[in-house]
């Protein structure tokens, strides 16, 4: 289909330390659990409400995997750009087909940026000419600090 786009943009906090695994081909992959939240006031009660969504992030780019392993920990705030993918796999115990929906970071149109200022600021983008391209994240709003319940 001409004119289609599969692009996901998320800003959130890690719910756990990244998980780094070795694939069969010897390359590393990073798996992240990212929480995004929205909050509002209930019109009837005036009570503050909050809803948190959890996203599975999978990083295949070797340079980004190294950065994730070195610098990201539970609670870190990040900005990711990637593609949404649904993967089918078979549960070994039940033999049933299972599905996982993930945000994949690999290729040209993906990036991961560490937010939060200080020495943890900056980010890395997938760029075929410059694999670890640092970018300034100071223009990204940091108003989500108190919104995610960790």
Model-level pTM? 0.71
pLDDT band at 125 (very low <50, low <70, confident <90, very high): very low
Task: Report the pLDDT value the prediction gives residue 141, as an integer from 0 to 100.
Answer: 37
Q: Given this structure, which CATH class describes domain 14-37+52-134?
A: mainly beta
What tens digit of pLDDT does each residue of 30-59 get? 999 999 999 999 999 999 999 999 999 999
Strands 48-59 and 28-41: antiparallel
Task: Report the pLDDT value the prediction gives residue 107, as an integer from 0 to 100.
Answer: 83
What separation in angstroms does the CA of 91 have from each of 54, 84, 96, 104? 22, 22, 5, 21
pLDDT value at 75 more than 90? yes
Compute how many other C-beta atoms are within 10 angstroms of the C-beta atom of residue 32.
Answer: 25
The whole-chain average pLDDT of the chain stands at 81
Compute how many other C-beta atoms are within 10 angstroms of the C-beta atom of residue 88.
Answer: 8
Rounded CA gap, 114 and 76, in Å? 8
């Amino acid at each position: 289909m001409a004119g289609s786009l599969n692009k996901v943009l998320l800003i959130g906090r890690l719910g756990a330390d990244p998980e780094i695994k070795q694939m069969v081909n010897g390359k590393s992959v990073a798996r992240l659990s990212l929480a995004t939240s929205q909050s509002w006031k209930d019109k009837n009660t005036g009570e503050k409400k909050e809803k948190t969504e959890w996203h599975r992030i999978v990083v295949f780019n070797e340079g980004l995997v190294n950065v994730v392993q070195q610098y990201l920990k539970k609670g870190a705030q990040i900005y990711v750009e990637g593609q949404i993918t649904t993967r089918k796999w078979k549960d070994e115990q039940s033999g049933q087909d299972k599905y996982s929906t993930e945000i994949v970071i690999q290729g040209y149109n993906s990036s991961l940026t560490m937010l939060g200022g200080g020495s943890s600021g900056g980010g890395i983008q997938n760029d075929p000419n410059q694999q670890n391209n640092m970018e300034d994240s100071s223009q990204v709003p940091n108003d989500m600090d108190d919104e995610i319940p960790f």
